[in-house]
Amino acid sequence: MMQYRKQGLRYAGVKSMNIYEEVKDAGSIGIGGHIRPDGDCIGASMGLYLYLKKVCPQARVRVMLEEPPAVFSCISGLDEIQTDFASDVEKFDVFIALDTVKERMGEGEKYFCAAGKKINIDHHVSNTGCGDVNYIMPEASSTSELVYEVIGDKSLLDEEIAKALYIGIVHDTGVFRYSNTSPKTLRAAAELISYGFDFSRLIDETFYEKTYVQNQILGRALLESIIFMDGKCVVSMVDKKTMGFYRADSHDLDGIVNQLRLTKGVECAIFMYQTDVLKYKVSLRSNGKVDVAKVAMFFGGGGHVRAAGADMQGTFHDIVNNLSAQIDAQLKTEKKA
Ligand code: 5GP
Ligand code: MN
C-alpha cells in the first residue's frame, strides 16, 4: 500500500466501520457491485443484503447486480437480485458499492451517484474510494471478509448470511490458497463455518466443479498457450469465434488464468478473451515478483498486486507486446534491487 501512496494514489477512508450505524436512519438502501459479478462480489452483496433486511426492517433494501452465474443459487435470496436496471433512476437514501469503484458498476453507477449517501467497501489496492464514506482495506482477502467485519454485532449473523460471506471469501482466496489469506481471514472463516452449513459441498459446487464446456475450453486455452520471456510469462487467448463454438460466456473462462499461473517457472500469467473487434478483457496473475495491479492500472484497469485486469484494445500481438514491456520493466528493476 505504501508504494501506491508514493505513486500519488490518495486514500480517503475510515479505519473501521459499523454498517448498521451508517444506514440505520435510511428508508431505502441499495447494494451494488461490479459488472460480471464474481463469487466475492455476489457473496458480499448477498451477505450484506440478508443482514440489512434483518436489522433494518423499516427500510426497503435492494441488491442490484448483473445476472449471477447459476452455481450461486445455493445462496439464499439470490432470486431477489434486481438484474434489470430501469432507465428512470431511483434515488436511494443510501447506496453501498461493494468490491468495486463506481466506474466498474455498469448500470449500477447511476444509482450509486444519485444516492443521498454513498458508501464504498472494497479491498482493491487500485481503489482510492468513491463514496462519501469509504472503507477500503487492500490487506483484506475479500470484500466478503470486510462485510463480516462491518457487521459489528456478530450475534446478528445467521446461517444464510454466514454461507454467503463464506462463499465470497473462498472464491477470492482460491479456497484459502492465495497469499491474501491472513490469520484474520481464517478466523472469520472459522466463525462462519460454525453456523453448520455444508462448506465442503459449497466449495465443490461453486468453485471446483466445471461443466463439460468449461473443461473443454480450459483444455483448449492451455493447449494453445504460449510461453515467452525465457519462460517467465505465459499467455493464452480465446476469441469470439471459439466462445461461440463452445457456446461459452465470460464466466465459463473463470479459472483459466489461475491454471496458467501454476506453470512452473512462470512469474506472470496473462489470459485474455475477445469482447469485440480489436477489444479484449485481460486477466493478469503474478507469483509475487510482478505487481500486476500496477501493470493493469497503466492500461486503465486495476485489481490486486497478484491478480488484476483491464480492458485493452488492439490486436492480440499488440496487447501482448504492450503488457510485456511493463512486465519486463518490473522484472528488470526487481533484478537490480
Ligand atoms: P479477473 O482477472 O479475475 O477478472 O480480475 C482480477 C482482479 O482484478 C479482480 O479483483 C477484479 O475485480 C480486478 N479487475 C479485473 N478487471 C478490472 C478492470 O478492468 N478494472 C479494475 N479496476 N479492476 C479489474
Ligand atoms: Mn473481491
Per-residue model confidence as pLDDT tens digits over 156-183? 999 999 999 999 999 999 999 999 999 9
Residue 251 Cα to ligand 1 middle (Å): 13
- The predicted model gives 192-213 an average pLDDT of 98
Task: Give the closest residue (by CA) to ligand 1 atom 2.
Answer: 283
What percent of the chain has pLDDT above 70? Answer: 96
Q: What integer pLDDT is reported at residue 9 of this predicted model?
A: 59
Task: Give the closest residue (by CA) to ligand 1 atom 15.
Answer: 309
**b/e map 107-136, b = 16+ CB within 10 Å:** bbbebbeebebbbbbbbbbbbbbbbebbbb
Q: What is the C-alpha to C-alpha distance for residues 36 and 240, in angstroms, rounded to an integer? A: 17
What percent of the chain has pLDDT above 90? Answer: 93
Instruction: Provide the mean pLDDT of the chain.
Output: 95
Give yes or no for residue 303 CB within 6 A of ligand 1.
Answer: yes
For residue 174, with 0-12 CB atoms within 10 Å meaning exposed, 13-18 middle and 19 or more buried, which class applies? middle
**pLDDT tens digits, 37-89:** 999 999 999 999 999 999 999 999 999 999 999 999 999 999 999 999 988 88
Task: Tell me whether strands 117-122 and 94-98 are parallel, antiparallel or unpaired.
Answer: parallel
Closest CA to 73 of 212, 199, 206, 253: 206
Q: What is the C-alpha to C-alpha distance for residues 335 and 313, in angstroms, rounded to an integer? A: 30
Give yes or no for residue 106 CB within 6 A of ligand 1.
Answer: no
State yes or no: pLDDT of 10 exceeds 70: no
Closest CA to 142 of 177, 172, 115, 120: 172
**Closest ligand 1 atom number to CA of residue 310:** 19
Q: What integer pLDDT is reported at residue 87 of this predicted model?
A: 83
**pLDDT tens digits, 240-251:** 999 999 999 999
Q: What integer pLDDT is reported at residue 2 of this predicted model?
A: 47
State yes or no: pLDDT of 11 exceeds 50: yes
- The predicted model gives 105-117 an average pLDDT of 98
Q: What integer pLDDT is reported at residue 134 of this predicted model?
A: 98
Mutate to test the pocket of ligand 1, among 104, 171, 305 (most ligand atoms within 8 A of CB): 104
- The predicted model gives 225-233 an average pLDDT of 98
Residue 125 Cα to ligand 2 middle (Å): 11
**pLDDT tens digits, 269-285:** 999 999 999 999 999 99
Residue 122 Cα to ligand 2 middle (Å): 7
- The predicted model gives 90-116 an average pLDDT of 97
**pLDDT tens digits, 287-337:** 999 999 999 999 999 999 999 999 999 999 999 999 999 999 999 997 766
Task: Give the closest residue (by CA) to ligand 1 atom 22.
Answer: 302
Q: Which ligand is nearest to the CA of 100?
A: 1
- The predicted model gives 6-12 an average pLDDT of 57
Bridge partners (DSSP) of residue 315 are none
